[in-house]
Amino acid sequence: MKLTITLAHNDQILDIDVSSEMLLSDLKVLLELETSVLKNDQQLFYNNNLLTGDDSPLEDLGLKDNELIILSKVEAHSDVNSHLNSVREQLIQNPLYQASLPPSLRDKLDDPQGFKEEVEKLIQLGQFGQYGPSRTSVQQELDRLQRDPDNPQNQKRIMELINEQAIEENMNTAFEISPESFVSVNMLYINVEINGVHCKAFVDSGAQTTIMSPKLAEKCNLANLIDKRFRGVAQGVGSSEIIGRIHSAPIKIEDIIVPCSFTVLDTKVDLLFGLDMLRRHQCVIDLKNNCLQIADRKTEFLGEADIPKEFFNQPMEAPSTAPVPKPVQPPQQLGQRPAGSPPSTIQRPAVQPPPVDIPPEKIQQLINLGFGEEESKEALIRSRGNVEVAAALLFN
């Protein structure tokens, strides 16, 4: 007889021909050769019931020609007690997380054993975190669909339920092996000092530029050094106005002082230490030792209690791409500089590229991707006619 085997962990489907007198143990050996899933790690489900009795012939287990069997792989789990206890302690310290917990689980936070038992109970019921339908409702729907297994719509829905079951099992396995992955991590902050003013800097290697807020610039007496010729718009998650640029100011980290350039941006983050300064000063983000290394000094990342509460577990709105300065004054002639400004602080505004003649076929390629004509032209001008770069700019 012919059997269809569906692997729940990777959605692979096999069609095999076997004898109705074959033992269940022999079928598992055959599936081990076909799927590389060890015999002892196999769980075979027929009509949503686990097949047991390795010495039983397939026909005695109710299997018939063209039947569907689901093969589920049993994962080896580590001891989850320490992981669950770690998650429980993090939840106790974070009231924001507690609000999303089921009431029955929230009431067990002060009871380690009760917390573990409640988590296991919710997982068994398929209700942990309100992920997906309960097992009872899934079984009822499967029973209804299998009354007419030849219906294409029913077959499609059965495959959807199989995929949903695989997702549920994957989620439950992840919670048992690494429950800490369900808890948000804190962002990286360090203590710094600018012009004698102590502040907390958000370390973000994903931001190309180092950013200071106008409020902090005023507090550090640096507002008079903002070069407003470098005004513009920073594009990232949304857009923000660039007020200007502070070309150089000393920043103290531990007992060393390093020069730093800042883009002054109206943002909630007072100070963001970006990739430009991390690279310039060859910093090392050491997550194993929870510190930032700069030169031969190490400064520890701040603990949860020291992180600014207004930014606690909130996404940062820093630009992900380097802002392009937009000068508002005529460019200085070669060799000139503004009166009273030291030569070391002068940086010329970006030179605008000459006009580019864009072939209509390149514009049409971007329009075919779903973009408008004007924005396609602008992107091609910025990329100097390179269609791939223009498409990347538009998608970002």
- Alpha-carbon distances, residue 174 vs 78, 179, 258, 322 (angstroms): 11, 7, 43, 37
* Residue 293: pLDDT band with limits 50, 70, 90: very high
80, β-bridge pairs:
none
Q: Which of 146, 162, 182 marks a domain boundary?
A: 182
Domain limit, last residue, from 140, 161, 182: 182
pLDDT in tens, 100-109: 667 777 788 8
Residues 221 and 300 in one domain: yes
Pair 121, 145 in one domain: yes
The per-residue pLDDT for 366 is: 80
Do residue 300 and residue 383 come from a single domain? no
* Same domain assignment for residues 241 and 151: no
Taking only the tens place, the pLDDT of each residue in 141-199 is 777 877 787 788 878 887 887 787 778 777 777 766 776 666 667 789 999 999 889 99
Looking at the 3D structure of the chain, how many domains does it have? 4
Residues 177 and 201 in one domain: no
Q: How far is 210 from 203, CA to CA, in rounded Å?
A: 9
386 and 304: one domain?
A: no
Give yes or no: residues 280 and 231 share one domain.
yes
Residues 203-210 have a mean pLDDT of 88
Residue 344 lies in a domain: no
Residues 24 and 93 in one domain: no
Q: What pLDDT score does 350 carry?
A: 44
Give per-residue pLDDT as tens, 314-370.
Answer: 444 444 444 444 444 444 443 344 444 444 333 434 434 445 578 888 888 888 777
pLDDT given for residue 237 in this prediction: 53
**pLDDT recorded at residue 112:** 82
Q: Is the pTM of this model over 0.85?
A: no
* Residues 62, 114 share a domain: no
Mean pLDDT to the nearest integer, 38-48:
83
Q: Are residues 193 and 294 in the same domain?
A: yes
pLDDT in tens, 299-321: 999 887 787 766 554 444 444 44
The reported pLDDT for the residue numbered 324 is 43
Q: Which residue is catalytic, options 17, 60, 79, 204?
A: 204
3 state SS for the chain: CEEEEEECCCCCEEEEECCCCCEHHHHHHHHHHHHCCCHHHEEEEECCEECCCCCCECHHHCCCCCEEEEEEECCCCCCCHHHHHHHHHHHHHCHHHHCCCCHHHHCCCCCHHHHHHHHHHHHHCCCHHHCCCCHHHHHHHHHHHCCCCCCHHHHHHHHHHHHHHHHHHHHHHHHHHCHHHHCCCCCCEEEEEECCEEEEEEECCCCCCCEECHHHHHHCCCHHHCEHHHCEEEEECEEEEEEEEEEEEEEEECCEEEEEEEEEECCCCCEEECHHHHHHCCCEEECCCCEEEECCEEEECCCHHHCCHHHCCCCCCCCCCCCCCCCCCCCCCCCCCCCCCCHHHCCCCCCCCCCCCCCHHHHHHHHHCCCCHHHHHHHHHHCCCCHHHHHHHHHC
Q: What domain range is 170 assigned to?
A: 81-182
CATH number, domain with residue 370 = 1.10.8
Clarify whether residues 270 and 171 are in a common domain: no
Which of 51-55, 172-176, 278-282, 320-324 comes out lowest in average pLDDT? 320-324
Q: Specify whether 99 is located in the same domain as 168.
A: yes
Catalytic annotation present for 204: yes
pLDDT grade for 218, boundaries at 50, 70 and 90:
very high
